[in-house]
Amino acid sequence: MKRLQVGIESTTLANGLKVVIAPDTTAPVVTVGVYYKIGFRLEPQGRSGFAHLFEHMMFQGSANAPKMQHIKLINSSGGVLNGSTSYDVTNYYEAVPSNALERVLWLEADRMRALKVDDENLKNQRDVVKEEVRVNVMNQPYGGFPWLDMPPVAFRNWANAHNFYGDFADLDAADLKDVQAFFNTYYVPNNAVLLVLGDVKAEDGISLAKKYFSDIPAGAAPPFADPSEPEQTEERRGNVEEKFGTLPAMAIGYVMPKRRTADWCATALLDQALHGGRAGRLHRELVLEKQIAVEADGGIDDIFGYNGPTQMTTRILHKPEYSSEATLAAFDAVIREVQQNGISADELEQLKVKWRSDYYATLEGGRGGYMPKYGLMHLLACFTLFDNQPQLVNTILDGFLAVTREEIQAVANKYLRNEKRAIVFRTPVKVGAKEAA
Amino acid sequence: MATRTAEVATGVPGLSAERAVTWPKRTKARLANGLEVILAEAHSIPKFHGELFFRSGNAALADRAPGLAEITATVVRTGTAKRASRQIEEDLRRIGADLSSSAGADTSAISFAGLSEFSEPLLGLVNELAREAAFPEAEFDRERRQKLEEVKLERTQPGFLASERLRKVLFGAHPYARVSPSEEQVAAYKRDDLQEVYRESYTPENGLLLLVGDFDSQAMLQSVEKVFGAWTGKKPETKTAAAPAYPRGRRVYLVHVPGAVQTQILTGCHAITRKHPDWVKLGLTNSLYGGAFNSRLVMNIREDKGYTYSPRSGVHALRQHGYFSVSAAVRNDVVAASLTEIFYEMDKLRSLPVPETELADAQNYLSGVFSMGLATQDGLLSQLSTVGLNELPDDYLETYRAKVRALTPEDLLATARKYLDSANMQIAVVGDRAQIEAQAALFGEIEIFDAQGKRIS
């Protein structure tokens, strides 16, 4: 077995900014990321969707690079850029020909130092975000299902249960004061990690990080609300109307252990046994064999990157001639089977080889085909922000490859319990729904 | 028109000296059975990516049934003479591999990726799927029913409805007009028809095998010969459909989706194929118009006006005919305003030369992004497949950047005038008729359809 070893150099600047460099001269391309340890989970109450709206504002101008300049300077250097907001982190990233590295670092430092935006920018991006929500959620069949539908059913703490894309009233209520306060609180160097991957020498990466970022003053340590959930003691159910699609759908989510605790690796492989593509038990049973469902997939979202309550979620679109209860019973039979009989040694071995192969693909992985090392960047960022151990990227695999059959069966019984799950039914209002339960 | 003056950044570091872009050596071979093979080493991770293409897709079979190549490809992976469906899926997992089979307008393909240490068993399975697919009756029945649900579902997606309508309008009687079969057509698929397609199309003479990854090319070529060498089969006869007529004058095609809270705009005109000598010019013109984040269209209708989240333009190079299109999902009350800006930016590029600095920015963008294909195995595979499938010259990758950088404002002006055919753009809009019909009708004679494709007005 050939193991992949990623060379990593890391340091922390005097202002608290963590810096991780992973050199690789395969291509004359460098990937730069800045991750801030704040996502939509802990955005301010009454401001649902704000973390994401704020992410858009980070492209609207900083002290020395006014509106449109961030995008223009990266594109005109031959590079691509984007940002994304998730539960517990927000990232900004660029992949550019390596001769543009200093320019990218200058831009990222400029917007970490001082945002410079106005009401016109905010109104513009609020409009853009509303169209983003419409195109991804409100005007699409099964839009937002289940990532937006599940939280309010599954969770009781506002942090985990609110609309992460944002209620339009909350987006409208957000003003420049909110933008500045959020920036001052969370976008401080001591709440961030800078990553430089690819065509850069380790010592150059570190010294350039110092050159551009070391004069940004540290801020107060950000306050983080407690995201923990009260103990769940009974199954929770909810219903959401499906406006466009004609197939009834459901999502079943079970609460998972915290990341990097004893059961974590076993739940990840259990997830693969259940959801791993066409060989996964749920797809095989519900789609290929019983042919109740048209789709049955899902899993633990962003397994390395969550830092609060999360679920393993199965998303099922089923044929209208099967009732919701019949579909759920077929799903439950798959769960019961793995609880009662576990998995075979042969199946476990297959899962481990696939896990290792997928892990390598993640490390190299582009986003949309043109963001080399996106996955490596994401893992290094999460291992730095949550664990302060970027080197985990080279050792984390060991835990997954050591999981036993007994552990898989044990976590199936411990976590896949009805009183620890939530179910959301997404029910079509259109024809085809009549026969559904 | 942008209403806000763009300010410039101050103190921006310059670019340092560029490191040379060196594309890996390609090993090309043609096996005695006619199979064309292209290999390239990329040692970033201990894996490899591959694609076995057949140069026959849905268009070549359109006179038999729409989507026939696609359903054939779907059923190919569900059983062989030696392995049942479940065995195939478990064997893939056992060697850490992913595999998919699909077909587009012009090609059918088996795509795969796996660990280098298991390259022979993966190639063995690909070979088995290409030569010994069994089309089990039960699997065929299930995939056909599955396809029926998919074709119902896609009629609820605005993006699909817009592209279906635009393709019909641009391509008329040509097979490219059909992007998907109807429910009735799916229901009429016959297993025998799939097997006939498979026998004709899945042959080494019709094939191109691409492999990129962590391997030694000479050793890999030997494996390929060992695995695929005994396969035989002729190239199928190809028929070329009559060229479609170019629609003249702007016309509007509204697909009515009651209750839609947004409008999907898709407007397009005929353009060129990948082999055309103007391809690089049009690529750069498109990039500057609406193909990049920093493009004129995105800056205008997103960053200045906030009409839409992800406006984009693109050149779609099908093998026989290409087309240019512009898409944007916009707020219902700015459909007319968005179309006005879309055409304004096209007309501006057709009227005024691009400033030198803006041209240089776009040239840097296109050549930089092109080189990123080097950094990942699947990025490189995608570049090699473009070259291989379009029979582009061997030095295409090496010379592309220089070709982009040699272009002048006059080249772009001429290209925009030739291909950004503003006066003859065909306009598809998908949304709620009550909210958008009057706005859309400002741009040309209007025809209205329902989501099933039936003309309603």
Q: Tell me the pLDDT tens digit for each residue of B157-187.
A: 999 999 999 999 999 999 999 999 999 999 9
% of chain A exceeding 90 in pLDDT: 95
CA A168 to chain centre: 23
Please, which residues 376-435 of chain A have a Cβ atom closer than 8 Å to chain B?
A: none
Distance CA A392, CA A259 (A): 13
Sheet (strand A18-23) strand order: A9-12, A18-23, A192-198, A29-36, A90-97, A80-85
Distance CA B218, CA A370 (A): 29
- Chain B residues in contact with A279 by the CB 8 A cut-off are 86, 89-90, 92-93
Which residue, among B43, B49, B89, B371, would best test binding to A if mutated, counting the most A CBs under 10 Å from its CB?
Answer: B89
Q: Is A437 on the interface with B (CB under 8 A)?
A: no
Partner-chain residue, chosen from A4, A72, A103, that has the shortest CB–CB distance to B45: A4
Which residue, among B153, B332, B359, would best test binding to A if mutated, counting the most A CBs under 10 Å from its CB?
Answer: B153
* Mean pLDDT, residues B125-137: 98
Interstrand relation of B36-41 and A293-300 (parallel, antiparallel or unpaired): unpaired
Please name every residue paired with B446 in a beta bridge, in sequence order, or none if there are none: B252
pLDDT in tens, A121-156: 999 999 999 999 999 999 999 999 999 999 999 999
* Mean pLDDT, residues A266-270: 98
Say whether B86 and A353 touch across the interface (CB within 8 A). no
Q: Quick one: chain A helix, strand, coil %, rounded to 5?
A: 45, 20, 40
Cα-only R_g, chain B: 24
| pLDDT score for A430 | 75
Say whether B45 and A350 touch across the interface (CB within 8 A). no
pLDDT in tens, A253-262: 999 999 999 9
pLDDT in tens, B187-227: 999 999 999 999 999 999 999 999 999 999 999 999 999 99
Say whether A132 and B310 touch across the interface (CB within 8 A). yes
Query: HSE of B40 in the Cβ direction (CA atoms, 13 Å)?
Result: 26
- Of A89, A168, A383, A385, residue with least CA distance to A260: A383
Taking 70 as the threshold, does the pLDDT of residue A368 lie above it?
Answer: no
DSSP strand E in A357-433: where?
A: 421-428
Taking 90 as the threshold, does the pLDDT of residue A367 lie above it?
Answer: no
Say whether B44 and A76 touch across the interface (CB within 8 A). no
Say whether A76 and B9 touch across the interface (CB within 8 A). no
Q: Is A141 on the interface with B (CB under 8 A)?
A: yes
- Chain A residues in contact with B45 by the CB 8 A cut-off are 4, 360-361, 363-364
- Chain B residues in contact with A343 by the CB 8 A cut-off are none
How near does any CA of chain A get to the CA of B12, in Å?
6
Please name every residue paired with A251 in a beta bridge, in sequence order, or none if there are none: A315, A424
Which residue, among A81, A107, A110, A244, would best test binding to B if mutated, counting the most B CBs under 10 Å from its CB?
Answer: A244
Partner-chain residue, chosen from A99, A244, A247, that has the shortest CB–CB distance to B15: A99
Taking 80 as the threshold, does the pLDDT of residue A49 lie above it?
Answer: yes
What single DSSP character describes residue A418?
A: G
Q: Is A287 on the interface with B (CB under 8 A)?
A: yes
Partner-chain residue, chosen from B93, B371, B382, that has the shortest CB–CB distance to A354: B93
Q: Is A224 on the interface with B (CB under 8 A)?
A: no
Partner-chain residue, chosen from A29, A64, A65, that has the shortest CB–CB distance to B372: A29
Taking 70 as the threshold, does the pLDDT of residue B286 lie above it?
Answer: yes
| pLDDT score for B164 | 98
Please name every residue paired with A318 in a beta bridge, in sequence order, or none if there are none: A293
Please name every residue paired with A236 in a beta bridge, in sequence order, or none if there are none: A422
Cα-only R_g, chain A: 23
- Chain B residues in contact with A99 by the CB 8 A cut-off are 15-19
Residue A210: enclosing H or E segment and its boundaries? helix A202-213
Mean pLDDT score of chain A: 95
% of chain B exceeding 90 in pLDDT: 94
- Chain A residues in contact with B13 by the CB 8 A cut-off are 102-103, 106
Query: HSE of A420 in the Cβ direction (CA atoms, 13 Å)?
Result: 16
Inter-residue contact A249 to A431 (CB < 8 Å):
no
Tell me which of A86-100, B337-351, B364-378, B397-411 is least confident. B364-378
Q: Is A124 on the interface with B (CB under 8 A)?
A: yes
- Chain A residues in contact with B261 by the CB 8 A cut-off are 134, 138-139
pLDDT in tens, B54-105: 999 999 999 999 999 999 999 999 999 999 999 999 999 999 999 999 999 9
How near does any CA of chain B get to the CA of A224, in Å?
31
pLDDT band of residue B373 (cuts 50, 70, 90) is confident
pLDDT band of residue A365 (cuts 50, 70, 90) is confident
Taking 90 as the threshold, does the pLDDT of residue A436 lie above it?
Answer: no
Closest chain A residue by Cα to residue B9: A65
Given its phi and psi angles, is residue B10 left (phi above 0), alpha (psi -120 to 50 degrees) or beta?
beta
Distance CA A374, CA A361 (A): 10
| pLDDT score for A282 | 98
pLDDT band of residue B8 (cuts 50, 70, 90) is confident
pLDDT band of residue A432 (cuts 50, 70, 90) is very low
Residues 6+ apart with CB under 8 A from B323: B170, B268, B269, B270, B271, B315, B316
| pLDDT score for B18 | 87
Taking 60 as the threshold, does the pLDDT of residue A339 lie above it?
Answer: yes
Taking 90 as the threshold, does the pLDDT of residue B367 lie above it?
Answer: yes
Please, which residues 316-355 of chain A have a Cβ atom closer than 8 Å to chain B?
A: 317, 319, 349-351, 353-354
Which residue, among B22, B44, B100, B139, would best test binding to A if mutated, counting the most A CBs under 10 Å from its CB?
Answer: B44
How near does any CA of chain B get to the CA of A240, in Å?
17
Interstrand relation of A421-428 and B26-30 (parallel, antiparallel or unpaired): unpaired
Q: Is A131 on the interface with B (CB under 8 A)?
A: yes
| pLDDT score for B6 | 61
Q: Is A284 on the interface with B (CB under 8 A)?
A: yes
pLDDT in tens, A288-300: 999 999 999 999 9
Say whether A75 and B153 touch across the interface (CB within 8 A). no
- Chain A residues in contact with B451 by the CB 8 A cut-off are none
Between chain A and chain B, the number of residue pairs with CB atoms below 8 A apart is 247
How near does any CA of chain B get to the CA of A358, in Å?
8
Taking 60 as the threshold, does the pLDDT of residue B2 lie above it?
Answer: no
pLDDT band of residue A431 (cuts 50, 70, 90) is low
Please name every residue paired with A312 in a beta bridge, in sequence order, or none if there are none: A254, A300
How near does any CA of chain B get to the CA of A368, in Å?
10
Say whether B153 and A102 touch across the interface (CB within 8 A). no
* Mean pLDDT, residues B282-305: 97
Taking 70 as the threshold, does the pLDDT of residue A425 lie above it?
Answer: yes
* Mean pLDDT, residues B21-38: 97
Residue A119, helix vs strand vs coil: helix
Tell me which of A360-369, B359-368, B445-454 is least confident. A360-369
- Chain A residues in contact with B17 by the CB 8 A cut-off are 99
Distance CA A78, CA A313 (A): 39
Residue A349: enclosing H or E segment and its boundaries? helix A345-364
Distance CA A122, CA A238 (A): 34
| pLDDT score for B222 | 98
Mean pLDDT score of chain B: 96
Say whether A126 and B306 touch across the interface (CB within 8 A). yes
| pLDDT score for A435 | 38
% of chain B exceeding 70 in pLDDT: 99
- Chain B residues in contact with A75 by the CB 8 A cut-off are 292-294, 361, 365
